[in-house]
Amino acid sequence: MTTTVSGGTPDSLPLDVAAVRADFPILSRTVRDGKPLVYLDSGATSQRPVQVLDAERRFLETANAAVHRGAHQLAEEATDAYEDARARIAEFVGVVPGELVFTKNATEGINLVAYAMSNAVTAGPEMERFTVGPGDEVVITEMEHHANLVPWQQLCQRTGATLRWFGVTDEGRLDLSNIDELITERTKLVAFTHQSNVLGTINPVRTLVERARQVGALTLLDACQSVPHSPVDFAALGVDFAVFSGHKMLAPSGIGVLYGRRKLLEAMPPFLTGGSMIEMVRMEGSTFAPPPQRFEAGVPMTSQAVGLGAAVEYLSVVGMDRVAAHEHALTERALAELTAVPGVRVIGPTDMESRGGAVSFVIDGVHPHDASQVLDSLGVAVRVGHHCAWPLHRRLGVPATVRASFYLYNELSEVDALVAGVREAQRFFGADRP
Amino acid sequence: MNLESMYQEIILDHYKNPHGRGLREPYDGESFQVNPTCGDEVTLRVKVADGKVSDVSYEGQGCSISQAATSVLTDLVTGHTVEESLTTMDAFVELMQGRGKVEPDEDVLEDGVAFAGVAKYPARVKCALLGWMAFKDALAQTPHGERAANTVIE
C-alpha cells in the first residue's frame, strides 16, 4: 500500500490484500528451499510494513535525542515525536494521552499494576484503593496467557491475598455461571483477557466490568489480541486498566502500552523509580511526577514509540472494521476447512460468534511439534506448544496445540496452504488411515 | 527442506514401537523432565547393578523426536557400565549440539546416528535431549552418579 491506496477506499469495499502485502517486504521472501512464506503466526508477533520501518528510521536520522530532558532542538523534536505518538495511540483506543503509559511490552504493563498494588501496601492509607492483603481476592480466568496469570499469583503470594479464577467450558468459553460467587465484596481486582490467544474466544467485557463495579473491584483487560485486530475503545468498555503490545500490531518490539483511568493513575504509587518520574528529589525523600511520567522511569524507548504511532496510523488508514472483517473471513474459512478434515479437532469455538482469528487444533496421531515441522517444510509458519497458556491446555486435556493466527496481510489461499499442510502431516505420519 | 532427513525411518520406527517403555520397579534414581516451551515431558527411572545400567524405564508424552530419542537411549545404555553410558551420552549430546556438522560414530551411537538430521534444527534439539536430561539426572541419584551429577547438558 502506498498510503493512498486503502485511504481512498470506500468503507463498503473489502480490504485490498495485495496492496497491503506489498507494504510488507518480509512476506515476499521464501523459506526452506524456495517455498513462499505463509506467515500464520501473527498472534506471536506481527510483521512490519515499510511505513513503520521508515518512520523509525526517519526519526533516528533526523530527530533522535533523549526525550523530556534537554532544551536543544533535537530534544524538543524527539519529545514532540514521542508525545505525538502517545496522542495518536490514545486516540486509536478511545482514551486521552495522559491515561496512556509506555512500557516495554504488555507483560511489563501488567507487572506495573501488580507491583504498584504491592507497593501500595506500605504507602499509607490514601493508597487503600490499591492495597491487597489477607482476606482480599484477585480474580482471573483459566484462559489467561501466563503474562496475565503469574504476576497475580506472585502478587497474592507477596501480600497474602487469594487468587481465584473463572473456569472454561468444554467449548472454550468463559464459564460465567458462578460470577456472583467469584466476584464478591472481597474482590479487589478482576484481570482477564479480551480475546484468548489460544481459543480466539472474545470475552464478555461488559458483563465482567459491570459485576466488578457492583462490588467496587478494579478491572484490568489484557487487550494484546484484540487491539491489533478489531476496533477497541477502552473508555467505552469501561475497564480501569488495559494493556497491549506494539509488536503484535505492526510495530517494533520493545514498546507496549498500559492504559489506566486518569483518576486511578493519579492515585497509584509508582513501580519503577528513578529519573524522569520525579517531581522533586532531596536526599531525605522524593515526590513524583503526575502520570503518565510517574510510570516511565529512565530514558524511554523512543523510536519504538514513534514506530507504534506509525503502526496505528497505518491500521487507521486501512480501517479497523475492514481488518476485522477480513480476519473474520479468514477464520471462518479455516474453521470450515479444518473441521472437515477427519482426525483434526479444533480447540475453542468452532462458530464465529464472539470469536477472533486464532485457530488452535490437534491432529490425531501427529504431535503438534511434528505437525509444525511438516508445515514448516512447506513454508507455513505456525506456533506450537501451549502458547504461554499452560493451565488452559491442561483444562482442555491437551498437552500442546498447533495454532494458526491471522492478520490483515493474510490471504484466503494461505488458509488453504495450512489445511493442505495438515493433510500432508497426516500422510507423512501415517495418520490419514484408520 | 527434506523432511526425510529429519524423520529417518529409524526415528519413526522407534516412535511407533518404542523400546523399554513403561515405569518399572525397582529403581535407584528417577527424574521428571519437562520442556517448558512445548510441554513435552518424561519420567525416567534408572536401575544400576554391579556398576552397570541394568534397566531404564520411562513414561512420557511428546513429539516423535523426544519419544524416539528416549527409546533409542534405553537401547544404548541398558547393559552397559555407567561409565560407558555416560560416554555414549556425551557423544549424543555432541552430535545434537553440532548444528549438523558433527559426524556421528555408528559404533557408539547405533540407532542414535539417525538424529544427525535433527541437529540441523535448533528448535528440535531440546526434544532429542529431553530423555537424556532425565537419564543424567536419574543416574546422578545413584551410588555411581558422581560424574553424571557433574555433567551439564545445555
The predicted structure's pLDDT at residue A199:
98
Mean pLDDT to the nearest integer, B85-101: 94
Q: Is B38 near chain A, with CB under 8 Å? A: yes
Chain B residue with minimal CA distance to A428?
A: B3
pLDDT at A5 over 60: no
Closest approach of A371 to chain B, Cα-based (Å): 9
- Note whether A386 contacts B38, CB cutoff 8 Å: yes
Q: Of the candidates A370, A390, A429, which has its C-beta nearest B39's C-beta?
A: A390
- Note whether A399 contacts B1, CB cutoff 8 Å: no
The predicted structure's pLDDT at residue A260:
98
Mean pLDDT to the nearest integer, A232-236: 98
Name every chain B residue with its beta carbon within 8 A of the beta carbon of A347: none
Name every chain B residue with its beta carbon within 8 A of the beta carbon of A369: 38, 40, 62-65, 124, 127
pLDDT at A10 over 70: no
Mean pLDDT to the nearest integer, B77-99: 95
Q: What digits encode the pLDDT tens for the residues B17-57?
A: 999 999 999 999 999 999 887 788 999 999 999 999 999 99
ipTM of the complex in this document? 0.89
Residue with cell 534408572: B46
- Note whether A368 contacts B63, CB cutoff 8 Å: yes
pLDDT at A6 over 50: no
Domain ranges of chain A: 4-47+319-428, 54-316
Q: Is A403 near chain B, with CB under 8 Å? A: no
Q: Which residues 13-32 of chain B have a CB within 8 Å of chain A? A: 16
Which residue, among A41, A373, A402, would best test binding to B if mutated, counting the most B CBs under 10 Å from its CB?
Answer: A373
- Note whether B38 contacts A429, CB cutoff 8 Å: no
Chain B residue with minimal CA distance to A369?
A: B63
**Distances in Å between the alpha carbon of B95 and those of A188, A216, B15, B65, B129?**
53, 59, 20, 15, 11
Name every chain A residue with its beta carbon within 8 A of the beta carbon of B39: 385-386, 390, 393, 399-400
What is the residue-averaged pLDDT of chain A? 95
Candidates A388, A418, A425, A431; catalytic one: A388
The predicted structure's pLDDT at residue A434:
64
Residue with cell 517403555: B21
Mean pLDDT to the nearest integer, A146-163: 98
Chain A residue with minimal CA distance to B62?
A: A367
Residue A388 annotated among the catalytic residues of the structure: yes
Considering only residues A126 and A360, tell me which one the structure prediction assigns the higher pLDDT. Answer: A360
The predicted structure's pLDDT at residue B149:
83
pLDDT at B99 over 60: yes
Q: Is B127 near chain A, with CB under 8 Å? A: yes
One-character DSSP codes across B62-107:
--HHHHHHHHHHHHHHTTSBHHHHHHHHHHHHHHHTTTT-S---HH
Mean pLDDT to the nearest integer, A238-262: 98
Which residue, among B3, B15, B35, would best test binding to A if mutated, counting the most A CBs under 10 Å from its CB?
Answer: B3
> Is residue A9 very low, low, confident or very high in pLDDT (cuts 50, 70, 90)?
low
* A110 Cα distance to chain centroid: 11
The burial of A180, by beta-carbon neighbours within 10 Å (0-12 exposed, 13-18 middle, 19 or more buried), is given as: exposed
Give Cβ neighbours of residue A391 (< 8 Å, ≥ 6 apart). Answer: A142, A144, A149
- Note whether B63 contacts A428, CB cutoff 8 Å: no
The predicted structure's pLDDT at residue A138:
98
Q: Which residues 405-424 of chain A have a CB within 8 Å of chain B? A: none
pLDDT at A209 over 70: yes
Q: What are the cell numbers at A251? A: 510495530
Q: Of the candidates B1, B38, B127, which has its C-beta nearest A377's C-beta?
A: B1
Beta bridge pairs of residue A346:
A361
The predicted structure's pLDDT at residue B147:
83
Q: What digits encode the pLDDT tens for the residues A366-413?
A: 999 999 999 999 999 999 999 999 999 999 999 999 999 999 999 999
| A278-301 residues labelled b (16+ CB within 10 A) or e (exposed) | beeeeeeeeebbebbbbbbbeebb
- Note whether B3 contacts A385, CB cutoff 8 Å: no
Q: Is A288 near chain B, with CB under 8 Å? A: no
Residue with cell 526425510: B4
Q: Is B42 near chain A, with CB under 8 Å? A: no
pLDDT at A229 over 70: yes
Q: Is A373 near chain B, with CB under 8 Å? A: yes
Name every chain B residue with its beta carbon within 8 A of the beta carbon of A33: 1
The pTM is what? 0.94
Q: Of the candidates B1, B39, B64, which has its C-beta nearest A400's C-beta?
A: B39
Do the Cβ atoms of A309 and A150 come closer than 8 Å?
no
pLDDT at A3 over 60: no
Topology of the domain comprising A54-316: Aspartate Aminotransferase; domain 2 (3.40.640)
Task: Give the integer Cα–Cα distance in Å for A325 and A321.
Answer: 6
Mean pLDDT to the nearest integer, A71-81: 95
- Note whether A33 contacts B12, CB cutoff 8 Å: no
Mean pLDDT to the nearest integer, A294-305: 96
Pick the CATH number of B3-145 from 3.40.50.970, 3.40.50.1820, 3.80.10.10, 3.90.1010.10: 3.90.1010.10
Chain A residue with minimal CA distance to B35?
A: A385
Q: What digits encode the pLDDT tens for the residues A313-336?
A: 999 999 999 999 999 999 999 999
Is the CATH code 3.90.1150.10 the one for domain A4-47+319-428?
A: yes
Closest approach of B62 to chain A, Cα-based (Å): 7
Task: Give the integer Cα–Cα distance in Å for A73 and A71.
Answer: 7
Q: Is B105 near chain A, with CB under 8 Å? A: no
pLDDT at A2 over 60: no
Name every chain A residue with its beta carbon within 8 A of the beta carbon of B16: 430
Domain ranges of chain B: 3-145
